[in-house]
């Protein structure tokens, strides 16, 4: 985990997010399974570990998106669970807290970016509707 976080702070890794300008951008590195936020070229949140979509058609899609909906507590109809600190950025895919063990590489989400409680709260305080989200890389095993 420490190696993944350290790698996310390297200039070459940061450049993969291709952030330009003063707007807040959240970067999701599927390869490292990390996330961070950048404003004016400086990291303002993270990096932190995340869990993203698993194989079997649940991969988190790469691309550039915007947060378009937020709810402190959202109900997932298909999975019948609460999604604390929900921030949607691509259809039914978004950021949310998970209460399950996040560090097991064999587990994954159904496409969402799962965060530990403190990270979900911090991201909620940092981001908002309209925040750019850049997802890049490839989750190992997917």
Q: Comparing C-alpha atoms, which of 40, 31, 25, 41 is closest to residue 8? A: 31
Among this protein's residues, is 112 annotated catalytic? yes
Structure tokens at 7: 């790698």
Among this protein's residues, is 96 annotated catalytic? yes
In angstroms, how far is CA 76 from the centroid of its own chain?
18
CA distance 115 to 136: 17
Q: Comparing C-alpha atoms, which of 109, 111, 114, 69 is closest to residue 95? A: 114
Q: Which position among 17, 96, 103, 117 bears the catalytic label?
A: 96
Structure tokens at 10: 């390297």
Q: Which position among 17, 27, 103, 112 bears the catalytic label?
A: 112
Q: Would you mind telling me the total number of residues written for the chain in this entry?
A: 142
Show which residues are catalytic.
96, 112
């Amino acid at each position: 985990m420490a190696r993944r976080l350290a790698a996310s702070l390297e200039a070459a890794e940061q450049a993969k997010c291709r952030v330009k300008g003063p707007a807040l951008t959240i970067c999701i590195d599927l390869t490292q399974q990390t996330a961070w936020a950048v404003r004016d070229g400086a990291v303002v949140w993270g990096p932190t570990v995340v869990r993203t979509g698993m194989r079997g058609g649940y991969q988190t899609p790469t691309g550039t998106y915007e947060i378009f909906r937020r709810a402190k507590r959202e109900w997932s109809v298909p999975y019948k669970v609460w999604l604390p600190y929900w921030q949607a950025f691509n259809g039914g895919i978004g950021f949310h807290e998970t209460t399950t063990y996040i560090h097991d590489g064999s587990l994954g989400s159904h496409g969402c970016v799962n965060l530990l409680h403190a990270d979900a709260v911090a991201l909620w305080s940092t981001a908002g509707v309209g925040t750019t989200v850049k997802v890049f890389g490839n989750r190992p095993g997917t």
